[in-house]
Structure 1
Amino acid sequence: MNSTTKKDKWIIGSLLFLSFVPSVAGLVRIFQLTTGSGYTVENQRFFDDPIPVLFHIVSVLIYSIFGAFQFAPGFRNQHLTWHRRSGRALVFFGLTSAISGIWLTLAYPKVPTDGDWLFGIRLFVGFWMLFCLVLGFGFALRRKFHLHSHWMIRGYAIGMGAGTQVFTHLPWFVIVGGDPSGVPRDLMMGAGWFLNFLFAEWIIRKKGK
């Protein structure tokens, strides 16, 4: 096994691991919505209007899982045709994920556990992801692949926020217990996206050296 292969496996494995809990949660939500099980007051909004959330979950699942293979340099270089073709599809699913996330934020009623900040945070990250993907795709069309890579990293990092939020919530679950609400929930949700943003910028600057 050469060093490139080891690096590829580490990158793909880490990203798939990060997407594991949100993917399982998404599959559970799909099962609930398609079978009518697990109805509660907290998730009533999903049952009242299930189509947008189903679009969001499916898009996020495809984008997060298959997107992991786009960032492994050895795998990408050995499968350039696959990278280009699947990349176009993943841009579509990434855009669908961002747009549906914005729609859910604007159209669905606010849940009691959300604080006043989370609405604005969700809108910001949704539009930021949208901006990153559009810009990244535009740079690919212009064959500016260096900038294309940078903006796709940013877009994917924001799209993987739910995976990091599992870890930003973990101290609360261990120390306090129960589901957080209000400002603590807003801060923990925001921290997941912010940490991914910082990590993406670190990766981009590391690549530039």
Structure 2
Amino acid sequence: MVTNTKKDFWIIGSLLFLSLVPSIAGVIRFLQIMKGDVYTVENQRFFNDPIPVIIHIIAVVFFSILGAFQFAPGFRKKHIVWHRMSGRFLVCLGLTSALSGLWLTLVYPRVPTDGDWLFGIRLVVGIWMTLCIIAGFFFVLKKKISLHSHWMIRGYAIGMGAGTQVFTHLPWFILVGGDPSGIPRDLMMGAGWFINFLFAEWIIRKDRK
């Protein structure tokens, strides 16, 4: 039997590891915007209208890191007051992340590497994440803690899609090289969110048994 301490270690460690690459990439992007350097055709939209992407980066980084400590059962029981207080911030950060992501999708010009499918996928993902977090908040107000946990797991899993996308892109980088574009990029991006969606549902079904 795995002890709560070991289980917490693996849950928190795995989620922090998954958030590492997108967090580092977000910080680098943030610094580039602040300095105004590394200006390219692909990131031109960020420099032309930096506020939405800065808000998105900050929300995603803190959402992914803070959320890593919310789903470890032993840590949660030991620090229940912290869990409740940080959970309020997590809801705000998650909604900010999802809604700013939708804004970036709808308002920013599309980059050349994005295919036609990715626009629709991002809309579905952003709307689903928003609904999951709202549902999670609604159920905690109703004191339905199990349902609250399940919907927050779903919302967090979708929010962590960028971490999984590192691995869905890895075979392309190894076998083909260079940055993918068009349908291959759309499929690899979508696969990251879909894998997290399936994993979240597996965790939820396991918890119900």
Aligned twin of 1:200:
200
Q: Displacement of 1:88 after TM fit?
A: 0.4
Q: Give the TM-score of the pair, scaled to structure 1.
A: 0.99
Unaligned ranges ≥5, structure 2: none
Q: Give the TM-score of the pair, scaled to structure 2.
A: 0.99
Provide the rounded CA distance (Å) in 1 between the counterparts of 2:110 and 2:38: 19
Secondary structure of 1:69's partner? coil
Provide the rounded CA distance (Å) in 2 between the counterparts of 1:138 and 1:20: 30
Determine whether 1:62 maps to 2:41.
no
Provide the rounded CA distance (Å) in 2 between the counterparts of 1:93 and 1:147: 20
Provide the rounded CA distance (Å) in 2 between the counterparts of 1:145 and 1:192: 28
Aligned twin of 2:10:
10
Cα deviation per residue 1:11-37 (whole Å; 9 max; x = unaligned)?
Answer: 000000000000000000000000111
Q: Displacement of 1:202 after TM fit?
A: 0.2
Query: Over aligned residue pairs, what C-alpha RMSD do you find?
Result: 0.6
Q: 1:184-199 counterparts in 2 under 5 A? A: 184-199=184-199
Q: Displacement of 1:74 after TM fit?
A: 0.1
Cα deviation per residue 1:126-160 (whole Å; 9 max; x = unaligned)?
Answer: 00000000000000000000000000000000000
Provide the rounded CA distance (Å) in 2 between the counterparts of 1:171 and 1:80: 41
Unaligned ranges ≥5, structure 1: none
Cα deviation per residue 1:29-76 (whole Å; 9 max; x = unaligned)?
Answer: 000000111111110000000000000000000000010000000000
Aligned twin of 1:44:
44
Provide the rounded CA distance (Å) in 2 between the counterparts of 1:197 and 1:191: 10
Determine whether 1:115 maps to 2:115.
yes
Q: 1:169-180 counterparts in 2 under 5 A? A: 169-180=169-180
Percent of aligned positions that are identical? 74
Q: Which 4+ residue blocks in structure 1 deviate beyond 2 angstroms?
A: none
Aligned twin of 2:72:
72
Provide the rounded CA distance (Å) in 1 between the counterparts of 2:100 and 2:36: 22
Q: Displacement of 1:166 after TM fit?
A: 0.2
Task: Give, as a single letter, the amino acid of the residue that structure 1 aligns with 2:167.
Answer: F
Q: How many residues align?
A: 208
Determine whether 1:153 maps to 2:150.
no
Determine whether 1:144 maps to 2:144.
yes
